Amino acid sequence: MRIPMMAGNWKMNCDNPAAVELAKGIVEGSANALGCEVIVCPPFTALSAVNDVTKDSPVSLGGQNFFWKADGAFTGEIAADMLLCCGCEYVIIGHSERRGRFGATDEDFAEELQSVFGDNDATVSIKLKAAVDAGLKPIACCGELLSEREKGMTDAIVSDQVRAMLDGCSEEQLHSVTIAYEPVWAIGTGEVCEADEANRVCGLIRAVVAEVAGQETADNMRILYGGSVKPDNVEGLMAQAEIDGGLVGGASLKADSFCTLIEVAGRAKRA
Ligand code: 13P
């Protein structure tokens, strides 16, 4: 039985007072949510303040990114231990916005800007193992661009990303890994992937995990969908067998809408 998960990626939103307010709303609003693990991923600057709110609650804390070195001259980067010190249990890795696809929904997006944040399949693979070894639970993202979907490349792109991120991982390292399927064209656009198509791709991801790490690991791994998840489309998504929860941007910035998502995910998976 996979426990459903609803993770809020706050991205570059919320100064500390706003983050504390939002965290309080989520802790209160999800207090009676049954059967769904809740994670919030504020900006680095708000982690400690949010941890003060969440630490005695069932809500867990995650970072939005980290760098795999333990310390050193890496200006602007954050190490796994620093996230752990702030109370983080989880960390998002390989988000398409970190892969440099910020806002890119078509080929017009300048090639040189697509790697501006630097993550790629190789760095995501390093980060995944480094996160697990440091004691963080990674939420590793994959997903195709609109142009790739239009060319019929979705399955090949997503499978390759998943194979690359899992490359060299032991089965034990994979126990704490969650994968999030986030089609880039659905992120922040209001254009959600149809529930049955999202389910199909999440099933494909599970098949790749089974091929790499065995069926049992695949059956136990949580696979989330992300991309314009909202209260009005969450029922259909959570009803899908291969979708174990959501990685949510915009709708996680309002306590009431995020708590609706949490409640629906818990109910759908209990049914
Ligand atoms: P939205 O829910 O705003 O589309 O963002 C999804 C996302 O990128 C979560 O990581």
Task: For 118-152, write each residue's pLDDT tens digit.
Answer: 788 888 999 999 999 999 999 999 999 998 999 99
Whether residue 227 has its Cβ less than 6 Å from ligand 1: yes
Q: Is any atom of ligand 1 closer than 6 Å to the C-beta of 223?
A: no
d(CA 230, CA 88): 25
Q: Is the CB of 187 within 6 Å of ligand 1?
A: yes
**Residue 264 belongs to a domain with what CATH number?**
3.20.20.70
Neighbours of 32 (CB within 10 A): 9
Residue 222 near residue 244 (C-beta atoms within 8 A): yes
The residue segments making up the domain with residue 87 are: 5-270
In ligand 1, which atom is closest to the CA atom of 95? 10
pLDDT at position 114: 52
Cβ of residue 30 lying under 6 Å from some atom of ligand 1: no
Could you tell me the pTM of the whole model?
0.94
Angle in degrees, CA 186, 191, 192, rounded to 5: 70
Domain count for the chain, please give it. Answer: 1
The reply to whether 235 belongs to the active site is no
The answer to whether 42 and 23 have CB atoms below 8 angstroms apart is yes
Nearest ligand 1 atom to the CA of 96 is 8
| Ramachandran angles phi, psi of 245, nearest 5° | 150, -165
Tell me the pLDDT tens digit for each residue of 8-41. 999 999 999 999 999 999 999 998 878 999 999 9
Residue-level pLDDT at 188: 84
User: Which residue among 5, 6, 11 has the greatest number of ligand 1 atoms within 8 angstroms of its CB, and so is best to mutate?
Assistant: 11
Question: Is 193 near ligand 1, meaning CB less than 6 Å away?
Answer: no
Q: How far is ligand 1, taken at its centre, from the CA of residue 187, in Å?
A: 5
Do 182 and 176 form a contact (C-beta atoms < 8 A)? Answer: no
**Which of 95, 97, 148, 263 is flagged as catalytic?**
95
The residues, any chain, with a CB within 8 Å of residue 137's CB and separated by 6 or more, are: 89, 90, 91, 131, 176, 177, 178
Q: Where are the alpha helices (DSSP H) in the chain?
A: 16-29, 47-54, 80-85, 121-134, 146-150, 154-166, 171-174, 195-213, 215-220, 234-238, 255-270
SS3 89: strand
> 137-147 burial, b for 16+ CB within 10 Å, e for fewer?
bbbbbbbbbbb
CA–CA distance from 246 to each of 109, 151, 264 (Å)?
27, 26, 11
